[in-house]
Structure 1
Amino acid sequence: MHILPLSEFRANASAMLDLVEQGETVRIMRHGKPVADLVPPSGSAGPERLPSWKRPFDPVVLPAGQSLADAVIEDRARAAW
């Protein structure tokens, strides 16, 4: 845990947020009394918590001789809209 006065936090806010991003806790003091703790979010954003459009995916492998356009047309024909 890093403990620092408010004035030092203001001067180094970006560096302190980098520490929190790495899993550290930062306590901010005002007049010698703790006023805030910066902690990492409770649930880390693993792949299962990411929106579907941000999740990693396997590359598309097309059969030899099939164009991407043909594959898209074929996929749309099979989809149940």
Structure 2
Amino acid sequence: MTAVTLTEFRSHASGMLTRVEHGETLVVLRHGRPIAEIVPAAREGDTQPSWKRPALRLTAKGAALSSAVLEERTR
């Protein structure tokens, strides 16, 4: 990851974007603070669309919600 100033990015945008195209990540700084991160676009076939990926299963410790509701109703 390379950090460049906004002025430097404006002056050399074409060359910077070529570097990104070759896999490098750039962070653009304004007054020393990051304002943008430019990353290479995913190529076709590299990743599946999010709707095709398996969903993450969420788990929580403790009783199931349905059990807790039924228990509260009997009180």
TM-score for the superposition, normalised by structure 1: 0.53
Equivalent position SS for 2:19 = helix
Write 1 or 2 for the structure with the bigger share of helix: 1
Task: Return 5+ residue gaps in structure 2 as ranges.
Answer: 46-75
What's the CA shift string for 1:35-69, capped at 9, x where partnerless?
0000011x3135xxxxxxxxxxxxxxxxxxxxxxx
Letter in 1 for 2:27: R
Q: Distance in 1 between matches of 2:2 and 2:18?
A: 12
Letter in 1 for 2:6: L
The alignment's C-alpha RMSD in Å is 1.0
Q: CA deviation at 1:2?
A: 1.2
Moved over 2 A (4+): none
Q: Which residue of 2 aligns with 1:61?
A: none
Q: Distance in 2 between matches of 1:26 and 1:5?
A: 10
TM-score for the superposition, normalised by structure 2: 0.57
Matched, 1:8 2:17: no
Q: CA deviation at 1:20?
A: 0.5
Task: Return 5+ residue gaps in structure 1 as ranges.
Answer: 47-81
What is the identity percentage for the equivalent residue pairs of Structure 1 and Structure 2? Answer: 49
Structure of greater relative contact order (alpha carbons < 8 Å, 6+ residues apart): 2
What's the CA shift string for 1:3-27, capped at 9, x where partnerless?
1110000000000100010010010
Equivalent position SS for 1:34 = strand
